[in-house]
Chains A and B, each alone.
Chain A
Amino acid sequence: MTGSKPQPSWESAINRRRFVELGMLAAGTTFLAACGGSSSGGATGASGTIADEPGNLSVLEWAGYEYPAYGGKTATGVLQGYVDSYQAPKYTFLTSDDQALAKVRAGFKPDIVHPCVSYVQDWVDLDAIQPWDTALLKNFGDLNPSLVKGGQVDGKQYFIPADWGFSSPLYRSDKVEPDGEESWNLFYDKRYKGKISWWDSPVENFLIYGYTQGFDPYDFANWTDTQLTDATKFLIEKKKLVRNFWSSGTDFDADVANGNVWVGYAWGGSYTAAKAKGLEVVYSEPKEGRLSWNCGFVLAKETKNYHHAHAYVDDWIGAASAAWIIPNYAYGHSNTAVALGGVDPALVSAFHLDDPTALEEPKAHIERYVPDRRRFAKAWDEVKAA
């Protein structure tokens, strides 16, 4: 490929390949720079009607929220209204918020994505989404106002809240006795060495540290370099008490069921799973407040199915879908006008499904955008590698 004389020896063969690679690097990046960059053109708008659109809605979604939900179990209710009127959407499953971002950044083009609210700013920064037209959403008025507010960036409604829930310490009441009031400090309790499980996530573990130390970790001014270093050292020390950093709900549930873990960071589903296994568990209300999460829908900038997307989301946030999601997953739904009659009262009280203010400050700490996630991620990797 280059003009140099062929040389049979090893090292020069490798060198020549490197040279060629560098040449291709130059060519390749010029090519990429010319063609790449942010998406061209403006957002597709509300011009035209629903009949003008192709209708092949593509949704990047968590498994379990698709239509028909959980094939095998009865699925009427979720999105039935949408599917009755339009073509059934095509689903691509995401495995995590960051994987969804990565996939779209790398070139995948869905119409709708279902991320969680702390990532909305990233979606906006990626220039991949456009605001919703809330006038097109009939059920919009029934939505929890604080969640709606959380989904706005620069005053525009980029995010329609859909489902919500808590994250809290789960513990075995037959094995574990909190030291005084229920608290996140249970994660650092040396009495339960080797029986504790934290979630493998860069931000949450520092949030928990902040709350147990008594400062507001979402006030990012608090996170000076010294504070971060102290937190890192603390977590490295407490790591010795931890059995595992769980990465999936199933993994954690298996650990609880197998008796490997008695205390852990858990979403509501783990509570119901453990109870189903016949274990005595408590989904605690730590004095510092539970953490809470909220996920919902964002609209792709270059979608060709603008009106279909709105119709889809409108159905999802409607009462019919909510009536299915809540009892089946024990997750909250952002629609506050849903009757909870069919839901197990024990679940309603454990997860405060009937209280729309339950996930606001100061009762719970709803997830928020973290501007310098990389910093925390680096510190968390330091904790894990130590």
Chain B
Amino acid sequence: MDTAISARGKWFLRAFFAFFVFFLYAPLLLLVMFSFNDADVPSFPLSGFTTDAYEQFASNEVLKASVLTSIKVSSIASFAAVGLGLLAAIALVRRQFLAKGAVVALLLSPLVIPYIVFAIALLILFSQIDRLPGIAFPLSIWTLVIGHVVILLPAVILILVPRLERIDVRLEEAAHDLGAGWVRTFRSITLPLIWPALLSAFLIAFVFSFDEIVLASFVAGDATTFPLYLFSQLRFPTLLPQVIAVAVIVFAVSMIVIVLTEIGRRVVERRLQIELDPAKYPAGAE
């Protein structure tokens, strides 16, 4: 029997999960519908089908540039945050050092601070650095990346630390005893075990950064990210359909990624089955 869950329990959890996903996706399906609606403001009744929003988006250079900027900023910031977060997580879980509690508090404290306060103070800091003789520190996507890494670090650490704790340190010790250096140990033992957590951390970081508006409105200089563009348009809903079109495209891309992942998973699974049981699957069968 399945020790983790009973059959009835499984049914219940499945229904619960399905409900949850349904409520999570309902607004998105509405957005898809409204992106083809011939009106500026999303509301019922619908006013007629049109692909204008998508066509306008395609010719809106500023909007397209903002999406690209967002992708750039979020990728770099997430990558850096996962890198730094991994270092911190390893240190927290595997090493003993003074003031560990204070370090944990420090690493998690960006979760607390209201972003507007942080954004303004960070901007002040950057402008002061820029004023120092001989140093040019202009506001740009890089200053935004710096700010984003700060706020993404706690999330990364909160995901990696519980996972790292669960890895038996004796596996790593065994590798050392056999002569492997730190890097080799990490690559062969730790990394294969934690890559799903790393990926999850990256995804969450990316998603946070992609939709972040407050820091982007202060420390990015004249670079415009997609959420910043969206928010500055909110005075009149005239551009709302185009922005919704962008959101739908982003949604579609993520759906494609999910479908591809599922397909990829099935392909791998099938391959494994064939490998493991050649008798059942004579050579070349698929």
Contact = CB atoms under 8 A, between A and B. Distances in A.
Whether the complex brings A and B within 8 Å at their CB atoms is answered: yes
Interface of A: 6, 8, 10, 13-14, 16-17, 31-32, 35-36, 58, 62-64, 66, 70-73, 90-95, 99, 102-103, 106-108, 248-251, 253-254, 257-259, 269, 273, 276-277, 329
A254 B41 contact: yes
Contacts of B218: 102-103, 106, 108
Contact of B120 (A64, A106, A248): A106
The 8 closest A-B pairs by CB, nearest first: A107-B127, A93-B232, A72-B56, A257-B43, A63-B232, A71-B60, A106-B123, A248-B234
B232 A17 contact: no
A108 B232 contact: no
B91 to A, nearest CB: 15
Given A92-B224, A95-B217, A273 B237 contact: yes
Contacts of B231: 95, 248
Contacts, number: 132
B98 A8 contact: yes
Given A93-B228, A254-B41, A254-B42, 20 more contacts: A10-B101, A17-B102, A32-B128, A62-B232, A63-B233, A64-B238, A71-B59, A72-B56, A72-B57, A72-B242, A93-B224, A108-B127, A108-B139, A249-B236, A250-B235, A250-B240, A253-B237, A258-B44, A273-B236, A276-B40
Interface string B211-248: 00000011001101000110111111111101000000
Residue picked from A36, A99, A107, most chain B C-beta under 10 Å:
A107
Contact of A276 (B39, B102, B105, B123): B39
Nearest to B52: A72
B108 to A, nearest CB: 13
Which of B43, B55, B218, B242 has the largest number of chain A CB atoms within 10 A?
Answer: B43
A253 B41 CA distance: 7
Mostly helix, strand, loop or mixed at chain B's interface?
Answer: helix
B237 A249 contact: yes
B99 interface: yes
A6 B236 CA distance: 59
Nearest to B44: A258
Interface string B34-68: 00000111111001000000011101111100000
Contacts of A31: 128
B90 interface: no
B4 interface: no
Given A16-B102, A35-B131, A70 B238 contact: yes
Contacts of A14: 101-102, 105
Contacts of B61: 71
B126 A107 contact: yes
Nearest to A36: B128
B249 interface: no
Interface string B236-272: 1111101000000000000000000000000000000
Interface of B: 39-44, 47, 55-57, 59-63, 98-102, 105-106, 120, 123-124, 126-128, 130-132, 139, 217-218, 221-222, 224, 228-229, 231-240, 242
Nearest to B228: A93
A216 to B, nearest CB: 29
A16 B233 CA distance: 47
Contacts of B132: 35
Contacts of A63: 229, 232-233, 235, 239
Contacts of B224: 92-93
22 contacts: A6-B98, A10-B101, A13-B101, A16-B102, A64-B233, A92-B221, A93-B228, A93-B232, A99-B217, A106-B124, A107-B139, A108-B139, A108-B218, A249-B235, A249-B237, A254-B41, A254-B42, A257-B43, A258-B43, A269-B235, A273-B237, A276-B40
Given A72-B56, A95-B217, A107 B128 contact: yes
Contacts of A16: 99, 102
A64 B235 contact: yes
Residue with the greatest number of chain B CB neighbours at <10 A, chosen from A73, A93, A258, A259 = A93
Given A71-B59, A72-B60, A273-B237, A107 B98 contact: no
A128 B182 CA distance: 54
Contacts of B98: 6, 8, 13
A249 B239 CA distance: 12
Contacts of A64: 233, 235-236, 238
A250 B128 contact: no
A20 to B, nearest CB: 9
A257 B102 CA distance: 52
Contacts of A90: 222
A93 B227 CA distance: 12
Contacts of B131: 35
A248 B239 CA distance: 14
A91 B106 contact: no
A95 B232 contact: yes
A35 B120 CA distance: 17
B236 A17 contact: no
